[in-house]
Amino acid sequence: MAIASFWDERKLLVFVTLIILACAAMLLELAAVRRGERSPFDQFVPAIVTPVQRAVSLTFNAVIGEIQTLAQAGTLGRENAALRQKVQRLASANERLKDQARENVELQRLLRLAQTKSTLATAADVVGYTPEAARREIAIDRGWRDGVRRDAVVIDDRGLVGHVIDAGGHDAHVLLITDPTSSVPAYLRSTKSWGIVTGTWRRVRMKYIGQDVKIRPGETVVTGRGEIYPGGVPIGTIREVDRKDNALYQTAVIDPAVDFNSLRRVLVLETR
């Protein structure tokens, strides 16, 4: 019974204390209102709540900012990818335009060259070339249906390419002057000295030049009129001379006028 009485007294004491504190608070509130001031309670609550609100606001703004940054990054990534694709398409289109411009220049040169020849000529595209083949030859997309015949001479805008060795209905094969079996009558343009040009795979060599002929590197060699070839078609320029005192003839290595590695379009002259 004594213990229960003790706890009852403590509860009463706490209740009375709370009533006193509530009354004190009310008195302080009334006093502050009369003076036109904020009560201690009004001052205490904002002091606690405001920092919490500020922290929550800063955190919320930071989260929103990160979300916006991520969204913008995704948008920028897509835009950059689209721009890269557009740049690639423009670069490809630019290369195609350059190729077309080069082809137009080549065609114009071939047309002008065809107009200077006394025979008819047929333009053809190179459609096959095998550097590792047993013979140095190319395939073109014109055949006997287009007027191309065996032994027809083939040139481009820079000089002699070779001659046709066989022709189908819509295609033909051309033996290049760089093939070792090729044989072309030729002469030095400056001295009109004759010789025979044969292939050495990469270049050509002019043989049977008289020992008394003075040959200078850089001289131009052209075709001489023969059974197949017309006269005056550029073959190339002298690279070096091989002259031996005890030999009957001297020979000269020639750099071809035609770049066979980039040969794309040719002109086939009609056989006589």
Average pLDDT over residues 25-48: 61
Tokens of residue 57, six digits:
């606001």
Which pLDDT score is estimated for 208? 93
Burial (0-12, 13-18, 19+ Cβ within 10 Å), 183: middle
Residue 238 has pLDDT above 60, yes or no: yes
Instruction: Provide the mean pLDDT of the chain.
Output: 81
Residue ranges of domains in the chain: 121-272
* Residues contacting residue 42 through CB under 8 Å, at least 6 positions apart: 32
**HEC states along 217-246?**
CCCEEEECCCCCCCCCCEEEEEEEEECCCC
Structure-model confidence comparison of residues 189 and 51, the more confident one: 189
User: Lowest mean pLDDT: which of 34-43, 206-215, 216-225?
Assistant: 34-43
Which pLDDT score is estimated for 131? 66
Residue 182 has pLDDT above 90, yes or no: yes
Handedness of CA 54, 59, 65, 67 (dihedral sign): negative
Res. 140 pLDDT band, cuts 50 70 90 = very high
Which pLDDT score is estimated for 77? 76
Which pLDDT score is estimated for 25? 65
Neighbour tally for 234: CB within 10 Å:
17
pLDDT digit string, tens, across residues 154-177: 999 899 999 999 999 999 999 999
Global pTM exceeds 0.85 = no
User: CA angle 109-112-115, nearest 5°?
Assistant: 150
Which pLDDT score is estimated for 254? 95
Q: Residue 196: which of 230, 223, 220, 164 has the closest Cα?
A: 223
Annotate 54-104 with DSSP letters as a single string.
HHHHHHHHHHHHHHHHHHHHHHHHHHHHHHHHHHHHHHHHHHHHHHHHHHH
Q: Which of 22-26, 228-232, 254-258 has the highest mean pLDDT?
A: 254-258
Give the rounded percent of residues in the chain with a pLDDT score beyond 70: 70
Res. 239 pLDDT band, cuts 50 70 90 = very high
pLDDT digit string, tens, across residues 44-96: 555 555 665 676 667 767 767 667 776 677 777 777 888 888 888 877 777 77
Which pLDDT score is estimated for 33? 61
Neighbour tally for 221: CB within 10 Å:
29
Which pLDDT score is estimated for 262? 87
Question: Which CATH number is 121-272 given?
Answer: 2.40.10.350
Tokens of residue 2, six digits:
């004594």
